[in-house]
Amino acid sequence: MSLNGHRGGGFAGAVLLDRPAPLPPEPVGEATEPSETKPRWWKRSTATSAASPVTSVPKTTPPEPKPVSVGEPVSDTPATPKQVSARRQRRIERVERMRKAGVEPLGFGGRIASAAIIIGAIGIGGVGFAASFANVTKAMTPAFGEWAWLVPAGIDLGIAVTIGLDILLAKMRMRPAWLRFIPWGLTGITIWLNASGHSGIGLVGHVSLPAMFIVMSEVGAHVIRVRAGLAAGETREGPRLPRWLVAPVETVQLWMIMARTPGVDTYEKALAEHHGHVMAAVALREAWGIAWRIKAPHQLRARHRLGTLTATDVTTAKAAADGKPKASAKTDTKPNTASKPAKPSRRTSKTSISDDDALAAIRALPTDKGGHIAVKAAARAAGIGVDRARRLLDANNLLAPRGNES
């Protein structure tokens, strides 16, 4: 039976009859006024959006992520490309600093070898601790009784902790110099307790195992300290052992230069500074003699003590000192005498006239009754000395007798 022939409508007819009529299409481009009646639930959002004016939402950009610095806790969020590039740049700079210092960074094979060496060192330490545990426990039994095992356990644990702390502080560039002596002392106690009950081959065996572990730990701490200093750009290399043995006095001077001069952190730089110091001392001795520590200027001596004086500076200072005119004692005591004009020399003016001119001037003078001219009058008229005037008068028979010279 068809649905159209069913008088009562049935279920299918009821569904078809209860379907809502389709809504007329809204005109395109015309603003529709909000309906006063409450819209149906499936059209409520459409009616609300039509009633409210359309506003543009401002486009916001997410804030840039803050770069993670060393020491801050790392969040669970993945790193941005900018953070990855900054981290990679820091790693490249660290590798470049290490290569400039002559240390090649470890590759994959080097890391595997380092891991194997570390595992072997830990194994050697464990074997040494196990070998000494029974002997130390036996030696401590009369004093501690059943708690004697705590002595070797505490000593071995102290050695392991202090070595680990030493390596960690070396990695952080905070390693104190005295910390290394603590595991050395504890190892010495262990060796002494082990060797006290043995002799010969047993003594060598008990001494060698702890000593090897201490040597390996020191080597590891040294490597970590050097690599950490190279990565941070803070490395300090002291004089080598052969230098200490061959020339201990000069090596102490090198060490003092490295300790007091900023920027001198390698043996080569300290050696260059020491050579410059010696050459400056040689230049000072050539300029002011063997007593240059007293005769040299105070400024040059101070710069020589500070290590900033060079041989060129000494040569320049000596040339400037030699070219400066020396002031006389009279000038120092009477500074105004230099400004006074010098008096003309009377002797120079008298000797500038010839004998003929002087004689002509003398003959122009009037003579006395005897035809003589006084010496003083002749000298004054000719501008010559008395002795010369007497000589000229005597040569020309114009000299008056002794009683009438005036």
Residue 54, domain member (yes or no): no
pLDDT tens figures, 165-194: 888 887 787 878 888 888 888 888 888 887
Which residue among 235, 264, 288 closes a domain?
Answer: 235
Is 364 domain-assigned?
yes
| Calpha distance 160→194 (Å, rounded) | 18
**Boundary residue ending a domain (289, 308, 323):** 323
Q: Tell me, yes or no, whether 118 and 231 share the same domain.
A: yes
Identify whether the C-beta of residue 300 lies closer than 8 Å to the C-beta of residue 313: yes
Whether residue 182 sits in one domain with residue 121: yes
- State pLDDT tens for residues 275-287: 888 899 999 999 9
| Residue at which a domain ends, from 269, 292, 323 | 323
pLDDT at 157 over 80: yes
Q: Are residues 182 and 228 in the same domain?
A: yes
What's the pLDDT band for 15 if we cut at 50, 70, 90?
Answer: very low
Residue 259 predicted with pLDDT over 60: yes
Using CA atoms, how far apart are residues 239 and 254, in angstroms rounded to an integer?
7
**Count of domains for the chain:** 3
Q: Report d(CA 136, CA 195) in Å as an integer.
A: 10
* In a shared domain, residues 358 and 376: yes
Are 113 and 165 members of one domain?
yes
- Whether 259 maps to a domain, the answer reads yes
Residue pLDDT, tens place only, 338-347: 445 555 444 4
Q: Provide the residue range defining the domain that includes 176.
A: 108-235
Asked if 227 and 297 sit in the same domain, the reply is no
Mean of pLDDT values over 107-128: 86
Rg of the Cα trace of the chain?
A: 55
Burial class (CB in 10 A: 0-12, 13-18, 19+), 147: exposed
Dist CA 300 CA 280 (whole Å) = 10
Q: Does any domain span residue 157? A: yes
- Verify that 249 and 316 share a domain, yes or no: yes
- Inter-residue contact 152 to 133 (CB < 8 Å): yes
Q: Residue 3 has what pLDDT?
A: 44
Confidence of residue 68 (pLDDT cuts 50, 70, 90): very low
Shared-domain flag, residues 253 and 271:
yes
Would 294 be classed as within a structural domain?
A: yes
Whether the pLDDT of residue 348 is over 50: the answer is: no
Do 399 and 290 lie in one domain? The reply is no
Question: Per the structure block, which two tokens stand in for 175?
Answer: 């390693």
Residue 312 domain-assigned?
yes
For the CA atoms of 113, 232, 220, 264, the dihedral, rounded to the nearest 10 degrees, stands at: 120
Query: Rounded to the nearest 5 degrees, what angle is found at the Cα of 358, between the Cα atoms of 353 and 363?
Result: 165
> Are 115 and 172 a contacting pair, CB within 8 Å?
no
The answer on 254 and 215 residing in a single domain is no
CA gap 308, 280 in Å, rounded: 9
